[in-house]
Amino acid sequence: MSKEMTTRERVEAGLGRRRRKETMFRTVGVLATGVGIMFLGVFFATLLAKGSSAFVQTFVQLDVVLDAETIAPGGELDLAYADFEGLVRSSLRKEFPGVSGRTERRELYRLVSTGASYQLRDMVADDPTLIGTTQSLWVPAASNVDMLLKGNIDAAVDESLRPLSDAQIEWIQALQDSGRVETRFNLALFTNGDSRDPELAGIKGAMMGSFYMLLVTIALSFPIGVAAAIYLEEFAPRNRWSDLIEVNINNLAAVPSIVFGLLGLAVFINYLGLPRSAPLVGGLVLTLLTLPVIIIASRAAIKAVPPSIREAALGLGASQMQVVFHHVLPLAMPGMLTGAIIGMSRALGESAPLLMIGMVAFIVDVPGGFTDPATALPVQIYLWADSPERAFAERTSAAIIVLLGFLLLMNLAAVIIRRRMERKW
Amino acid sequence: MSIQQKTFGLVAMTVLGVAMSAPAFAQAGRDHVYVVGSSTVYPFATVVAERFGRSSEFKTPKIESTGSGGGLKLFCDGVGVDHPDVANSSRAIKQSELRACAKNGVTDIVEVKIGYDGIVFAHAINSPTMELSRADIFLALAKEVPGDSEGELIPNPYTTWADVNPGLPATRIEVLGPPPTSGTRDAFVELGMEGGCKTVAWIKALKSTDSDRYKSICHTIREDGVFVEAGENDNLIVQKLQANPNAFGIFGYSFLDQNMEKVKGSPIDGTEPTFDAIASGEYPVSRPLFFYAKKAHVDVIPGLRGYLREFTSERAWGEEGYLSDRGLIPMPDAERSQVAADVRNLTPLSVASQ
């Protein structure tokens, strides 16, 4: 009796200390989570603050006379040589008749993007009957004008310290006063390929490049990965060789991605002679990268199928193969798909291996196939971050937001698939 | 079951799709110009490529930024559609590279000088301007500096600018610059450091007697933390300069040009790094930029002739061309028309002249 009391007393004596320890541990845990969330919050906040302005773009309204003499001298229209830039310039001169002198005029012309003349050309190409008429159209403003109106260029500092002169700022003010300046959604960001003019640069080329690459990657790595996982888990004999393979697959998942890029350069480009900068080669390299991830996830999914299901099927006379394909595989599929999607989102964010196979390049044309030169989203971010024009800073952040959006969508898909299809035993 | 069938159906279709595009693997021809090379020339070459692509019926050239050395290596690997047509370089091609080229059958190379780039030594806009000479820069950044007696070298003892030159303020020496793989670093070392190094008489004398030693004295940058390698990203250096008023950064003129309200270039040997001073050659730390083209590829690769022409046209590289808007410093008129004529006639580089 007395012994029981002492145990109880001892427990009660230590209770305070144990509770304190637990509280402390919980506090540390909360702090750790809090710091993590805080960093994430700072990251997203700066990204959104910097990048959100790139989703809108300043446009200027111009009345352009599509003068037949300038673009189709002698009545013959040759789009490649027609001087559409001259039309844009003359409409600017008409807007500001007081501007004279070569330097001043050059400054005036710099208010409008070079994209204006391409826009005119496309308009005339679509409808040649427009020649001779006067069209009022909205053209993108030059990136410096856009930066000024977004507050990224300070008009208050001395003229020599900013890329826009006092006269240019005056003209912009005049245009604003007459309602000829407007901020619109920056559609070009999603419909154009890369450009060295920030106001014309878009991520469509990079998105298509990433798309083709991921298509190759999923088409190869999913069937190969699942087949390897099924064989290793269900059919392979347990011996030294299978152990060795297992260890190597786990190691492969931890190999730095640049190594796969080097391998891709040596094997796919130098040995097999596939084209450089092609999404096909990028996809092959990313396949190597995602295979271990998919194999490991698929094996875990197969392992999670309860043995009772296998045994029941075997007991009813199913062959080993029937057991696997009729029972285990459908039940393991949600886990495998999740693994595949996680692998794909890793592949989407990869840029290091693409460096080696020539996908870090300036490519304007949007790729239309697996062998066209292309870049990928993370590479586009890297290239823009390194560009001197300041308007690329916000576009870099915008591209990161888009990339994060895709990653979020993919991970969401993985979660939904798991929720929808998962079976509980 | 249905999930399984659907998934496999989907996979089979995609595999088939990839397999059907397989015949395109064989790169029978290339329909775009392929350019590699210097990251300093990249911002200019890309603008030309884009303009050319938009205004002609040809595809836009593809430009990879590989660095001058890496680009010339790819360029010299051979003649054919798998190899680049043009290599950009922020220095002239080396004799050894020409030999490597010749060994792989790349013989008729057209050298095109496109203009100049200044290398600036810049600091935050609010910090006081420091008048530097190349000798100051050498003494502040060399690994070993001349000691009291002639021929003696001591590990660089200087920690403040006043130590280097009593006329300068007593602020700590802190310089952010590009890594050794960069062409900007090469040019800075050759023009800035070596320029200052030569002002010491006995080291200058070494050039003819022991050129290896001369090079190692003049070209070795200190490694004790005073010079910080900031990577190839010049935007990052600009940001760091804003945060640290005492630090200096080394980068190309185009970045100074784009960030005028944030950073300011120090005058070197009494000359400010301005567009005009670099163009006239008065500013001492400036270098020519080049690209090299394969004669054998002209008229084989669609658009190559046009790209060369666009690059050497007045509207691109002229005094008021669009490249000067991007910070390229044009060559004098006579030199431009000479180079443009060489390009039109595809005059190859004579190996002996190098």
CATH number at residue B328: 3.40.190.10
Q: Which of residues 123-142 of B touch A (CB under 8 A)?
A: 125
Angstroms from A128 CA to nearest CA on chain B: 18
Q: Is residue B129 part of a domain?
A: yes
Q: Highest mean pLDDT: which of A216-225, A378-387, B181-190, B329-338?
A: A216-225
Cα separation of B274 and B159, whole Å?
Answer: 29
Q: Please give the pLDDT value at position A418.
A: 83
pTM: 0.81
> Does B2 fall in a domain?
no
Residue ending a domain, choose from B254, B286, B318:
B286
- What digits encode the pLDDT tens for the residues A142-194? 998 999 999 888 888 877 778 888 889 999 999 999 999 999 999 999 999 99
pLDDT single digits (tens) A86-141: 888 889 988 888 888 777 888 898 899 988 988 888 888 888 888 888 888 899 99
CA distance A343 to chain B (A): 16
Give, as one character, the DSSP assignment of residue B192. I
- Whether the CB of B57 is below 8 Å from some CB of chain A: the reply is yes
**How far apart (Å, rounded) are the C-alpha atoms in residues A386 and B232?**
8
CB contact set of A194 (below 8 Å; sequence gap of 6+): A201, A202, A205, A206, A362, A363, A364, A375, A380, A383
The verdict on B214 and B278 lying in the same domain is yes
Q: How remote is the C-alpha of B182 from its chain's centroid?
A: 7
Token duo for residue A288: 């190597």
Rg (CA), chain A: 31
Same domain, B239 and B326: no
pLDDT, position A303: 93
Name the burial class of residue A356, with classes exposed (0-12), middle (13-18) and buried (19+) by CB atoms within 10 angstroms of its CB: buried
Q: Each residue of B294-318: b (16+ CB within 10 Å) or e?
A: bbbbbeebbbbbbbbebbbeeebbb
Residue for token pair 């007393």? A9
B141 within a domain of the structure (yes/no): yes
pLDDT category at B6 given cuts 50, 70, 90 is low
Are A362 and B255 a contacting pair at CB < 8 A?
no
B239 and B105 in a common domain: no
Structural domains of chain A in order of their starting residue, each with its CATH number: 59-184 (no CATH), 204-421 (1.10.3720.10)
What ipTM does this complex have?
A: 0.79
Q: At what angle do helices A84-95 and A115-126 cross, to 10 degrees?
A: 110
Per-residue pLDDT, A160: 73
- 3-state DSSP percent of chain B in helix, strand and coil, to 5: 45, 20, 40
| Residue among B45, B180, B43, B173 nearest B121 (CA) | B173
Exposure class string for B194-214: b at 16+ Cβ within 10 A, else e: bbbbbebeebeebeeeeeeeb
- B143 with B200, same domain: the answer is yes
**pLDDT the model gives residue B232:** 66
Q: What is the number of other CB atoms lying within 10 angstroms of the CB of residue A147?
A: 24
* pLDDT (0 to 100) of residue B351: 57
User: How much helix, strand and coil, in percent to the nearest 5, is found in chain A?
Assistant: 70, 5, 25
What are the tens digits of pLDDT across the range B93-108? 888 899 999 999 998 9
Q: Based on the number of CB atoms within 10 Å of its own CB, is A140 exposed (0-12), middle (13-18) or buried (19 or more)?
A: buried
- Cα separation, A17 vs A13, in Å, equals 8
For chain A, the first-to-last Cα distance in angstroms comes to: 46
| Cβ proximity of B104 and B74 under 8 Å | no
Which of A209 and B287 is assigned the larger pLDDT?
Answer: A209
A155 vs A299: CA distance, rounded Å: 61
Task: With beta carbons less than 8 A apart as the criterion, state whether B230 and B237 touch.
Answer: yes
Is the Cβ–Cβ distance between A162 and A154 less than 8 Å? yes
Same domain, B113 and B123: no
Share of chain A above pLDDT 70, in %: 98
Give the domain-ending residue among B286, B317, B344.
B286
Whose CA is closest to B262, among A55, A363, A176, A153?
A: A153
With CA atoms as reference, the chain A residue closest to B47 would be A196
Residue B338 covered by a domain: yes
Question: Is B265 domain-assigned?
Answer: yes
The label of the residue with tokens 């111009």 reads A62
- Comparing CB atoms, the residue among A216, A277, A388 nearest residue B258 is A388
B327 and B272 in one domain? no
Alpha-carbon gap, residue B55 to A404, rounded angstroms? 35
- Same domain? B178 vs B212: yes
Whether residue B230 has pLDDT greater than 90: no
Q: Evaluate whether residue B4 is within a structural domain.
A: no
Please check whether residues B242 and B337 belong to one and the same domain: no
What mean pLDDT, rounded, does chain B reach? 84
Q: What pLDDT was estimated at residue A207?
A: 95
Are B187 and B263 contained in the same domain? yes
| Cβ-based contacts of A280 with chain B (< 8 Å) | 18, 21, 25
Residue B66 falls within a domain, yes or no? yes
B71/B167 same-domain check: no
In this prediction, residue B16 carries a pLDDT of: 46
Q: Is the pLDDT confidence value at A268 over 60? A: yes
- B95 and B127 both lie in a single domain: no
CA distance B324 to chain A (A): 13
Burial category of B149 from C-beta neighbours within 10 Å (exposed 0-12, middle 13-18, buried 19 and up)? exposed
Cα separation, B194 vs B181, whole angstroms: 18
* pLDDT at position B352 over 50: no
Whether residue B348 sits in one domain with residue B229: no
Q: What is the pLDDT of residues B248-305, one digit of tens each?
A: 999 888 788 878 888 899 999 889 998 888 888 889 888 889 999 999 999 899 999 9
Contact B3 A161 (CB under 8 A): no
Residue written as tokens 């096909």?
Answer: A280
- Is A219:B15 a contact under the CB 8 Å cutoff? yes
For every residue of A390-411, DSSP letters joined together read: THHHHHHHHHHHHHHHHHHHHH
Count how many domains chain B has.
2
Phi, psi of B113, deg, nearest 5 = -85, 130
Residue A163 is predicted with a pLDDT of: 81
Residues of chain A found within 8 Å of residue B27, distances taken between Cβ atoms: 273, 275, 371
Question: What are residue B122's phi and psi, to 5 degrees?
Answer: -115, 160
CA B33 to chain centre: 21
- E strand or H helix at B194: helix B194-197
Distances (CA, A) of A211 to A149, A204, A344: 35, 10, 11
pLDDT of residue B354 exceeding 80, the answer is no
Q: Do B21 and A369 touch (CB under 8 A)?
A: yes
Kindly give, in sequence order, each residue whose CB lies less than 8 Å from that of residue B51, ignoring residues fewer than 6 positions away.
Answer: A114, B310, B316, B322
Positive or negative, the Cα torsion across B302, B303, B304, B306?
Answer: positive
Chain A hits for B50, CB-CB cut-off 8 Å, are: 195-197, 362, 364
Mean pLDDT of B13-33: 55
DSSP assignment letter at A269: I
> Does any domain span residue B12?
no
Q: Classify residue A142 by its DSSP letter.
A: P
Domain that holds residue B344: 28-117+288-353
How many angstroms away from the CA of B192 is the closest CA of chain A? 23
- What's the CA gap between A413 and A415, in Å, rounded? 5
Contacts (Cβ under 8 Å, ≥6 apart) of B138: B145, B192, B193, B194, B195, B196, B197, B199, B218
Model confidence at B25, in pLDDT bands (50, 70, 90)?
very low
Strand partners of residue A139: A60
Residue located via tokens 């006269």: A167
Query: For all residues of chain A together, what is the average pLDDT?
Result: 89
Which of B353, B281, B317 has the alpha carbon at shortest distance from B93?
A: B353
Final residue in a domain of this structure, among B263, B286, B309: B286
